[in-house]
Chain A
Amino acid sequence: MAGVNRGPDAGDGSADVGTDGSAGVAVDAVGKTYDGAGAPVRALDDVSFGVEPGEFVCVVGPSGCGKTTLFRIIAGLTDATDGEIRVAGAPVTGPTTDMGVVFQEYHLFPWLTVEENVGFGLERSDRSAAERERRVDEMLDLVGLTEFRDSYPKSLSGGMKQRVAIARSLAVDPELLLMDEPFGAVDAQTREMLQRELLDVWASTGKTVLFVTHDVAEAVTLADRIVVMAAEPGRVAEIVDVDVSRPRERGDPAFGEHVARVRKLIGAGP
């Protein structure tokens, strides 16, 4: 039986610094109100949870529960109306290279080659040219795209594009990887492959990962803990520990139990 934590359980974030360059995240009473036409819309209300350094946490919820808004607030791309986000104890006031961000639609720079996309963030770091080059090589190797380094994004498949996007976000060595439905736009087989690869990357880099998805099975496959959200207003319904040993198999009864539990929480039925 899975252990369940009732939120809010946000840490104070001050001690949330990992030993291997991974950071903890504290989401503290975050709210977001949009001034809609007519009545203001409460997209997020009192969302609190913590992510330990090196932990893999998924946020799942029905559409309209504000997961993407929450993702953008954590990434520093959108301001919260209330509350705050702390990464490694420091309040987030805007995007930083401490967070690697991966979007659903890849958003590669189409005018840059694979190699140049991966190196984009490095150009603004204080690394030497030789270091940058080595880092790009490492990242291309990590996602298995070395032989496509000179290709333009247009010629790549969706799965390959997302690998480039992941390599690009990891290249600057962020403490936290933030992902918004990164595998939502690829076919099922590619998705499973990318999930395995992401777990490998996570295991080999030790990064903290905060992963937003609407796919419950995906969350159970990946996460140490799942933040289950409810809609109207977007809020934390429950936080579920996934006590299933890795690698996780979909046929495993414990896997199915967790999926059923999370589905029930978001009201999607068993």
Chain B
Amino acid sequence: MATDTGREFDGSGLQTGLGLDDPRRLLRGAAGLVGFVALWYLLSLTQPAIVLPSPVAVAAEFRGQFVSGTMPDALASSIRHWVPGTIAGTGLGVGAGVAFAWSGLLDDVTAPLVRVLRPVPPLALIGFAIAWFGLNHAGAAFIIAIGGFWINFYATYGAVEEVSEDLIDVGRTLGVRGDLDMIRSVVLPASLPGILTGIRTGLGRCWMLVIAAEIFSVPGVGREILRASNNLRVDRAIAYIFVLSLMYLVVDVAFRAVQRRVLAWQA
């Protein structure tokens, strides 16, 4: 089962990132960014604004949306379901991952069920979200939680399965008795690097799911992207896409800092 994690993890450990601590990498990154914007600008000169608006137009739209308060409101609304959805999905995913990987019985009982449920995309569950929670933050949080759940479930399951039997043996010889004590004092700390990588991947995935979660007209950044797209306001859509990117970036950098601190023993 653990092998099903597949390509959800790109091996982005502690090394890959913005490279803020390496000036040469920073410079190259900046050059890449400037080159991209320049290319975008040149291309936009050859296209009508509804196909590809210029970066300048997008920046102006971004500023307009921000100043008018529409953008801050949309972001605040998205955060109101991103936060509970992410927390619920992460917590349940990690919890289920530990429990299923540790308990052979639980794993045997649920393995077929997991295989049936796993391929269901969160978007397909919108009907349930509406029926169970309604057209509100709770319904949107549900969609986000589903996505976060699977990433964390598989990452945690894999990490717990890989905990060395030898460490568990050592724990037993040093007086660890019972599943809870073993999980708390050996299994969780040993699998923490893998669990944290899963959480980090999940945080990003949950931002992407904001669009899916808002497809049934719950207000938020995703809703604004969909509405702008429907109105052929590509400049506005891109401005709101940047909001998602920025939020992802902020959360990711913050989480990486936490991760480094918690895993100081790996350094």
Contact = CB atoms under 8 A, between A and B. Distances in A.
Given A109-B186, A111-B189, A95 B265 contact: no
Interface string A204-228: 0000000000000000000000000
A172 B169 contact: no
B118 interface: no
Contact of B192 (A111, A124, A168): A111
Interface string B136-177: 000000000000000000000000000010110110111111
Contacts of B175: 97, 121, 124-125, 172
Given A152-B265, A154-B266, A109 B167 contact: yes
Contacts of A162: none
Given A97-B175, A125-B175, A107 B170 contact: yes
Residue among B172, B174, B176, B264 with most chain A CB within 10 A: B174
A110 interface: yes
Interface stretch (A42-50, A98-106, A242-250, A256-264): A98-106
Nearest to A165: B170
B226 interface: no
Nearest to B193: A111
A77 B266 contact: no
A75 interface: yes
B172 A94 contact: yes
A112 B167 CA distance: 12
A111 B167 CA distance: 12
A169 interface: yes
A152 B175 CA distance: 22
A120 interface: yes
A113 B264 CA distance: 11
B174 A172 contact: yes
Given A109-B186, A111-B189, A121-B175, A101 B265 contact: no
A107 B170 CA distance: 7
A121 B166 CA distance: 16
Residue among B175, B185, B186 with most chain A CB within 10 A: B175
A75 to B, nearest CB: 6
28 contacts: A75-B173, A76-B173, A77-B169, A77-B173, A94-B172, A95-B169, A95-B172, A101-B170, A103-B169, A103-B170, A107-B164, A107-B166, A107-B167, A107-B169, A109-B186, A109-B189, A110-B265, A111-B190, A111-B192, A120-B174, A120-B185, A121-B174, A121-B175, A124-B177, A152-B265, A154-B265, A154-B266, A169-B173
Given A103-B169, A109-B167, A109-B170, 14 more contacts: A75-B173, A77-B173, A95-B169, A95-B173, A103-B166, A107-B166, A107-B167, A107-B170, A109-B186, A112-B189, A120-B185, A121-B174, A123-B185, A172-B174
